[in-house]
């Protein structure tokens, strides 16, 4: 179906979600910065007697040069375009607030509660049924993006349609503001996923509804940046601007994301697979055969594989990025625009691969905002071996409740 023929309603106005009357939840506790210490002195030694002025200057310079970069410093040194750097700075600010919200004593009540309104509308649009915690995270992120002044349109998992923000904003953002929120009640990691495109100026003459939709349905090959933030024992911000994947960890004493994983490279092959094994008997023959083979150590890698599955997309992908192997959901469940595309971009920038079991994710042209598909992410050799089995996409989908 041609994109221009899609029936569209006007995009939602800010604030974009339905729990606006919960004013007492709109200000999550900020990250505390009781005594921020100068970045240049991180890791320095306190001397019993101050050195001479010349030596002190040299020591400070050495400490500054050896200190890991903050995210903002990294973008400056890497030559990130100024508008994009401002945009990412606003994303990181929002994610600090979401991290505080995810760790708040109130999050259990929010994760158990139902969102205002019916989840039926969300399901009809192809979205997951929303929870107040999802909606609050969405409001935090969209508010920050609008404040940046750099975003034309945002397509979020929490909104049926894209939200138009600014006619001259140079960028388009696609996002899942809080993936895995159902896990928060039991303290399992969650995450934020986002991708960034340039606004298609050639569409500026179109009506705003059509312009918003088409800007949001760009192919993953046009992405200029992508990232995720993992909310776990540490808060980790992984991002790529198209020249490698880099990880930053939140230093809670300063409130800064510090470069801890420069130039991440997924191992060519791992020894871990990540999938919900309980669905084994609904899998196609090719996928069952692949899993049986690697579990027995009879695949291209002679060692037996182990299973690790969190059921939190960002957490499972982060582990795979570090240790290698393959993470997957073989049924039409994960969203192409704001989950599969950004994570596949990061995987490729780290030397891995993202596919739907047959085709490269980034080459798939989205036709719907909440379009679902199977997703396989991981080490290049593991991915190619998996795809060689052919029949790995699950077509049986009885409608699982958990």
Whether 109 sits among the annotated catalytic residues: the reply is: no
Catalytic residue among 135, 179, 256, 387: 179
Catalytic residue among 178, 214, 313, 375: 178
Q: Under 8 Å CB-to-CB from 346, ≥6 apart: which residues? A: 226, 227, 228, 238, 239, 240, 245, 317, 321
Distance CA 137, CA 133 (A): 6
Start-to-end CA distance of the chain, whole Å, equals 33
272 exposed, middle or buried (CB, 10 Å; 0-12, 13-18, 19+)? buried
Which of 135, 139, 158, 385 is catalytic? The answer is 158
DSSP 337: I
Q: Mark whether 158 is an active-site residue.
A: yes
Active site residue 359: no
Please pick, among 135, 139, 251, 339, the residue that the annotation labels catalytic: 339
- Name the catalytic one among 139, 176, 385, 387: 176
Asked about 160 being catalytic, the answer comes back as no
Letter string b/e over residues 248-268, b meaning 16 or more CB atoms within 10 A of that residue's CB: bbbbeebebbbbebeebebbe
Spell out where 202-325 has E strands: 225-231, 235-240, 245-251, 256-264, 272-274, 306-307
Catalytic residue among 71, 87, 101, 128: 128
Q: Is 128 a catalytic residue?
A: yes
Helix (H) / strand (E) containing 377: strand 372-378
- The number of residues making up the chain comes to 402
Give the count of alpha carbons within 13 A of 298, CB side only: 7
Q: Look at phi and psi of residue 391 and say left if phi exceeds 0, alpha if psi is from -120 to 50, else beta.
A: beta
Query: Contact, 320 vs 353, CB < 8 A?
Result: no
Q: Which one from 157, 251, 356, 381 is the annotated catalytic residue? A: 157
> Using H for helix, E for strand and C for coil, what is the string for 142-197?
HHHHHHHCCEEEEEECCCCCCEECCCCCCEEEEEEEEECHHHHHHCCCEEEEEEEE
Active-site hit among 84, 133, 134, 313: 134
245-251 and 256-264 beta bridge pairing = antiparallel
Would residue 178 show up in a list of annotated catalytic residues for this protein? yes
The rounded distance, in Å, linking the Cα atoms of 183 and 177 is 14
State which H helix or E strand residue 358 sits in: none
Phi and psi torsions of 193, nearest 5°: -120, 140
Task: Answer yes or no: 316 catalytic.
Answer: no
- Which residues carry out catalysis? 128, 134, 157-158, 176, 178-179, 339
């Amino acid at each position: 179906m041609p994109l221009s023929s899609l029936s569209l309603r006007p995009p939602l106005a800010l604030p974009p979600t339905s729990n606006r009357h919960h004013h007492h939840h709109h200000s999550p506790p900020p990250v505390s910065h009781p005594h921020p210490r100068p970045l240049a002195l991180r890791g320095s030694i306190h001397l019993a007697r101050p050195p001479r002025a010349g030596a002190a200057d040299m020591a400070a310079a050495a400490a500054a040069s050896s200190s890991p970069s903050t995210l903002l410093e990294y973008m400056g040194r890497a030559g990130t375009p100024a508008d994009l750097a401002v945009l990412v700075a606003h994303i990181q600010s929002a994610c600090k607030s979401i991290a505080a919200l995810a760790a708040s004593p109130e999050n259990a009540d929010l994760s158990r509660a139902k969102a205002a309104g019916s989840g039926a509308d969300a399901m009809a649009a192809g979205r997951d049924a929303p929870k107040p915690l999802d909606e609050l995270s969405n409001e935090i992120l969209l508010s920050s993006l609008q404040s940046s002044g750099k975003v034309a349109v945002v397509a979020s998992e929490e909104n049926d349609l894209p939200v138009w923000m600014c006619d001259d904003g140079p960028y388009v953002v696609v996002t899942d503001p809080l993936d895995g929120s159902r896990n928060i009640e039991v303290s399992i990691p969650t995450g934020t996923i986002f991708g960034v495109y340039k606004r298609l100026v050639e569409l500026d003459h179109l009506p705003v509804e059509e312009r918003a939709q088409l800007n949001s349905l760009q192919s993953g090959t046009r992405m200029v940046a992508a990232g995720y933030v993992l909310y776990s024992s540490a808060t980790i911000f992984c991002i790529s601007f198209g020249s490698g994947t880099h990880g930053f960890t939140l230093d809670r004493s300063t409130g800064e994301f510090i470069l801890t994983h420069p130039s991440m490279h997924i191992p060519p092959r791992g020894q871990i697979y990540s999938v919900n094994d309980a669905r084994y008997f609904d899998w196609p023959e090719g996928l069952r055969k692949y899993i049986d083979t690697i579990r027995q150590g009879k695949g291209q890698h002679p060692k037996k594989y182990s299973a690790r599955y969190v059921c939190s997309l960002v957490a499972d992908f982060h582990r795979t990025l570090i240790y290698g192997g393959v993470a997957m959901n073989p049924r039409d469940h994960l969203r192409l625009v704001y989950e599969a595309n950004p994570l596949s971009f990061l995987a490729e920038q780290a030397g891995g691969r993202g596919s739907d079991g047959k085709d490269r994710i980034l080459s798939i042209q989205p036709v719907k905002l909440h379009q679902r598909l199977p997703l396989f992410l991981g080490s290049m050799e593991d991915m190619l071996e998996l795809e060689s089995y052919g029949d790995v996409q699950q077509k049986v989908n009885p409608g699982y409740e958990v």
